[in-house]
Structure 1
Amino acid sequence: MALNTSADAPIPVGQVSRLIGGWIDRLGAVWVEGQITQLSRRTGAGVVFLTLRDPSHDISLSVTCRRAVFDRVADIVSEGARVVVHAKPEWYAPRGQLSLRAAEIKPVGVGELLARLEQLKKSLAAEGLFALDRKRQLPFLPQLIGLVSGRASAAERDVLENARLRWPAVRFEVRNVPVQGVHAVPQVVQAVKELDTLPDVDVIIVARGGGSVEDLLPFSDEQLVRAVAACRTPVVSAIGHEPDSPLLDLVADLRASTPTDAAKKVVPDVGEELTRIRHLRERALRCVTGLLDREERGLAAARHRPCMERPQRMVEEREEQVAALLERGRRTLGHLLDRADSELTHTLARVVALSPAATLERGYAVLQRADGAVVRSADEVTAEEKLRARVAEGEFTVRVTP
């Protein structure tokens, strides 16, 4: 119910607190899920105080319960554990503080946690956060590596020692943070974001040793997964051992099975690289030597060809061919001239044989009239007509007598 108040007619703080308490008292008991961040069990006290936190929204509420309620789960519940609490909201008017009074506490089982993680995994995969085309290639030789790990942990030692054994000149920018418990997620997220803003950091490794499903829950937190997905710097996940696979492994650009494996995948081994360089040099030398040998053999074979040993031989061969062709041409032309001469001789003989002069040589004469016409018949002439007679050795005049 709304109150009628004004600046001239305010109500006291105590009344406001009592009204809030009345409204909250009308609320029924609810089941609440969260993570225990603070736990206070004073010896001899009948009440246990704890703080229940929502990691996704960073909201906390105070919870109180009777010692008998908490003792039923004391062996399996501690700080950092996820629980479900059946509690009734209460308002403490003197301090103006809201709290929950728990009547029952149930730890969240591993099976239920895995089911929720699977649901979160599907949701993030549908957004494309695990897509392979988002994965970035790691640099061949990072100059500065960002490392997020627990302080003085085995994971930090494994990464640093193995990386420096492989490449002594490698440098690290280390951020030590809690890797389990209620403060792990925000501090790991902050460390990753800080390293991502450093321009000299070439790759970021998030490392932790093995543990139970509950211990590795911070590395499946949605807030951390989204922070890694937003990084511009390639991120390597080195959480747990081979069977462990938090959601960070799926969103990271590279997954390493162990922190030692992360050092091997991020930093090249100087000995192996020197050996690889030596092998490449030897291979290149063999290739160049083989090429030179092959070209040398080709040159030697070319030099031993007859045309290269005696270049004039080609001219001599062509000279012989030209001489042979010339001789052949002469023979052909001689034959043609001889055949033409023979044919001319035969033609001349035929012409001579058929010539009127040849006939005159045999004693014949040709009679011509005064007009030059040849007399072929006696009827063509008249008495006393003068005719010209041609013989082989000249001509003379004759007269026709009756």
Structure 2
Amino acid sequence: MAQKTSPEQPIPVRTVLQMVAGWIGKLGTIWVDGEIAELTARGGTVFMTLRDPVANVSARVTCPRGVYEATVPRPVDGARVVVHVKPDFWVNRGSFAFTALEIKPVGVGEMLARLERLRQLLAAEGLFATDRKRRLPFLPGTVGLICGRDSAAERDVLENSRRRWPAVRFKVEEVAVQGPYAVGEVTEALARLDADREVEVIVVARGGGSFEDLLPFSDESLVRAVASCRTPVVSAIGHEQDSPLLDLAADVRASTPTDAAKKVVPDVGEQLTLVRQLRDRGRRMVKGWLDRELAWLSSVRSRPSLADPVREIERRAEQVDQFRDRVRRSLGGSLDRAEDSLGHLRARLVALSPAATLERGYAIVQRPEGEVVRRAADVSVGDALTIRFTDARVTARADGHGPDEEP
């Protein structure tokens, strides 16, 4: 428990250091991952610095020579190792160090296994999903470039980009691209370029190297920083066969820095050729359309109705005259036949008419109410009768019956 102190009741330095040593001693033994640096041997002890593979953090390690020599293969400067250590705090000097109890080199296979587990974790979170990747702008106004200092990757990107489009502009961030400072510097440069509104695309470029040299570009913090960028990111790390996790998180992967320049900046020559081809295609399409329309217009103009409009009117007038004559003949024939039929009907009517009988000398005897008297027996003496002749009527009265005489 913390002791209460005051200006009147301070505690000695030795007491404070002893308390610190007690707290550190409670950690016991632990396994620590890191890179070896500043390896020296004096007498029966080997002194080294164990450096964090990502952050700029390191700690001193003392190792008995027997433990060091028992490690196969023996670690060298820059080797990645896992060390079983006991944290110690030296009260007399007020310094902290690890005492190594066992050293195990970290092989490529184990590193690959760790990277595979990290890859699966990040993929499950959706950081590598295709639907979150953005398309690159056709012609970015300003390109951000993160690369090593005076590196071949920088020259490849700049030279190939300016050869393709001389007016392209770059904002270059030169950082460490390997070693313990690489992850921090690349992440900071990425944040600066992403915050710059003029930068439309960011290229992270590094030339080829060993598997260990490219490990910073598979660091989890850097991969997450790339996935959260507002600006599209192009990864151009190593060569075609290299595939750090940064390639999966970036919006576009380029096999080399030169390939990155080709993907980010269009070739002005190719674009001019494309424009020329499109212009020629447009001209051919317009010319073909005009030729088809002119052919249609010529065909329409060559029609008789347009070539000689008066002739068509005359032809139609002739047809009207023919139709009129045909109608007249048809109507005349119909009238003639109707007249003949009417004459025949009139003749039959005259022949069957009672007037024709009256003209032959006969007469019709009727009662005053119009009833026709057909027999003499139907007439009584004194009946008033009307005698109808062909030209007039005569009123008479019956005065008796006489004998019927044969003609």
Contact 1:80 1:181 in 2 (8 A): no
SS in 2 for 1:33: strand
SS in 2 for 1:119: helix
Q: What pairs with 1:9-28 in structure 2 (closer than 5 Å)?
A: 9-25=9-25, 28=28
- The residue number in structure 2 matching 1:271 is 269
Q: 1:161 to 1:74 in 2, by over 3 A?
A: farther
Take 1:245 and 1:386, find their aligned partners in 2: how far apart are those partners?
A: 145
TM-score, normalization by structure 1: 0.86
Q: 1:375 to 1:5 in 2, by over 3 A?
A: closer
Per-residue deviation, 1:213? 1.1
The code of the aligned residue for 2:349 comes to: V
Which of 286, 295, 298 is the aligned partner of 1:297? 295
- The residue number in structure 1 matching 2:239 is 241
For residues 166-210 of structure 1, give each alpha carbon's deviation from its aligned partner in whole angstroms, at most 9, with x where no partner exists: 111111111111111111111111111111111111111111111
Q: What pairs with 1:85-234 in structure 2 (closer than 5 Å)?
A: 85-234=83-232
SS in 2 for 1:244: coil
Q: 1:401 to 1:201 in 2, by over 3 A?
A: closer
- The residue number in structure 1 matching 2:32 is 32
Per-residue deviation, 1:257? 0.4
Per-residue deviation, 1:50? 3.2
SS in 2 for 1:117: helix
Q: What pairs with 1:352-363 in structure 2 (closer than 5 Å)?
A: 352-362=350-360
The code of the aligned residue for 1:18 comes to: Q
Take 1:74 and 1:87, find their aligned partners in 2: how far apart are those partners?
A: 18
Per-residue deviation, 1:60? 3.2
Contact 2:149 2:174 in 1 (8 A): yes
Take 2:338 and 2:105, find their aligned partners in 1: how far apart are those partners?
A: 132
Q: 1:80 to 1:391 in 2, by over 3 A?
A: same
Contact 1:386 1:400 in 2 (8 A): no
Per-residue deviation, 1:134? 1.1
Which of 342, 345, 348 is the aligned partner of 1:347? 345
Take 1:182 and 1:326, find their aligned partners in 2: how far apart are those partners?
A: 111
Take 2:375 and 2:27, find their aligned partners in 1: how far apart are those partners?
A: 173
Contact 2:55 2:184 in 1 (8 A): no
- The residue number in structure 2 matching 1:306 is 304
SS in 2 for 1:203: strand
SS in 1 for 2:134: coil
Per-residue deviation, 1:31? 2.4
Take 1:145 and 1:369, find their aligned partners in 2: how far apart are those partners?
A: 133
Q: 1:179 to 1:351 in 2, by over 3 A?
A: same
For residues 235-258 of structure 1, give each alpha carbon's deviation from its aligned partner in whole angstroms, at most 9, with x where no partner exists: 100011111000000000000001
Number of aligned residue pairs = 398
100-109 or 298-307, larger mean C-alpha shift:
100-109
For residues 273-304 of structure 1, give each alpha carbon's deviation from its aligned partner in whole angstroms, at most 9, with x where no partner exists: 11111111111111111111111111111111
Take 2:224 and 2:139, find their aligned partners in 1: how far apart are those partners?
A: 27
Alignment gaps of 5+ in structure 2: 403-407
Per-residue deviation, 1:388? 9.0
Take 1:336 and 1:9, find their aligned partners in 2: how far apart are those partners?
A: 150
Contact 1:145 1:172 in 2 (8 A): yes
Take 1:84 and 1:397, find their aligned partners in 2: how far apart are those partners?
A: 163
Take 2:175 and 2:376, find their aligned partners in 1: how far apart are those partners?
A: 160
Take 2:382 and 2:115, find their aligned partners in 1: how far apart are those partners?
A: 161
TM-score, normalization by structure 2: 0.85
Contact 1:365 1:390 in 2 (8 A): no
Contact 1:81 1:214 in 2 (8 A): no
73-82 or 144-153, larger mean C-alpha shift:
73-82
For residues 58-86 of structure 1, give each alpha carbon's deviation from its aligned partner in whole angstroms, at most 9, with x where no partner exists: 64322233566556779874554321112
The code of the aligned residue for 1:304 comes to: S
Take 2:9 and 2:119, find their aligned partners in 1: how far apart are those partners?
A: 55
332-341 or 260-269, larger mean C-alpha shift:
332-341
Q: 1:350 to 1:45 in 2, by over 3 A?
A: same
The code of the aligned residue for 2:35 comes to: Q
For residues 133-187 of structure 1, give each alpha carbon's deviation from its aligned partner in whole angstroms, at most 9, with x where no partner exists: 1111101111211111111111111111111111111111111111111111111
Alignment gaps of 5+ in structure 1: none
Take 1:215 and 1:86, find their aligned partners in 2: how far apart are those partners?
A: 25
Q: Please report the RMSD computed on the Cα atoms of aligned residues, expressed in angstroms.
A: 3.4
Per-residue deviation, 1:313? 4.5
